[in-house]
Structure 1
């Protein structure tokens, strides 16, 4: 009997031990689960959300990524990103990237809208997203002092109503600017722009381009397109002119008041070498004339092969044609029968 009691006691001990092990084995996942929940809550605390104008936004405090969803933002009434971020989240230096994820519309005055974001390295549109700027009238200092911004793509922006791009990408003088390229600026319709002063002041792009007519042209530097990338109207002297880079045609007409447009003394003072190299044909469609001195009026067109409408060119006031066609090495023939010398 004593032996049986001993066996039962041993069996009970083994059973209790097994039960204890089973309890521990079951309890372990619960501990792990609770730990995971705590991590998840901590992760959620790093994501801030809100609205800017009517556009929703999220900010990841771990990565510094600000994501802006669909909605409308009016800089004049909704404030710039720096101001609202500073008020609702904290130090704007925390913003490292801005990305558009929905259909965002900017309206009215966008002066300084994304200025002073010292740590922002990129401003991008995610696949399927859009940024409608067709109702923006002012982009002055829009990205000014964003000293870490490396590149930005404007190729989908509608800038046809923008009156000022002054200081749009101006950089602080106390640091080495990071900005190396602004993609698509040369293809935008800038016909409403009245002020493009210091657009790249203190940046590495300073002095690499200029406004010509209703377009921007890169005149130097490492850019995909040097010179005009789209048809644009401009004044060539007092004559109205249009350069179509696609066909290489420079069309020249009368002055604004309908009188004969006066051509510049030297073509190279109006058109950049990059633009002159695009010209393959010049067409005088309306009355134009040369001044007393025409020293290089049509010079420097290295790829020019023909000139049409010479009967519309009045040279009766010109006394000096020195260098008139200098450098036009590809010019095949020209009709001077209407020249009044």
Structure 2
């Protein structure tokens, strides 16, 4: 369990984390989402005791992480995959961590196998790709078999197989009763991985809860994609309460009416339909809705920064 209460962090006049409170439960994967500069990495550093709160508190397992007598068995983290000595081998890097924390060397071989790094265990880290560095960071996080895992952008640089592996690993860890917090910008991946989500913007919590609840509460009404050579007649038959986003003479997105009703009205009016598809609302839709006013840098329609 991770609990934050009125957690605040200021750097001079900049408020990076602003009176944040949340609980992250064991046995579930929690996605930590937010635009660049929202405060995700700062919050994770506060959890790990790497930064000191300006005010408020955050605990792991009921106590401050810095007071833990066996920190690597309490929390494992991947916050900066590049924070390793490039001249060390993967094995020597993990061995140095294991020795200082009383972890048996047999565990090194286990986490190397878990992360797919056994064959490169004796190679220098400086020659690793970004994805291999991410795997090594995850291996270090798993070394103490901790109760709580914090992964900051863990799929960055991974190939599709690696992305699936991180997803499965996160779910397996949670299924074994561990607390798993994962930050990511990949909404589609978080939708497949997370049970709960916390959305942060400009240092404030914008939403938190079960992922399906967040999607349902923060997406607009159902939209139906329609293709018909008689689109004008169809629109007239649906009445004045619908909203129509017309793309072409025979193509439109229709809101405020479900696909079944549109199809039935078309049949009753003898209107030909070529396609009728409900546009599924997504975590990305909810995220964009929630963070619309919390994005630090916005782009115009042609890609220029505003």
TM-score of the aligned structures, taking structure 2 as reference length = 0.29
Structure index of larger Rg: 1
Larger relative helix fraction? 2
TM-score of the aligned structures, taking structure 1 as reference length = 0.26
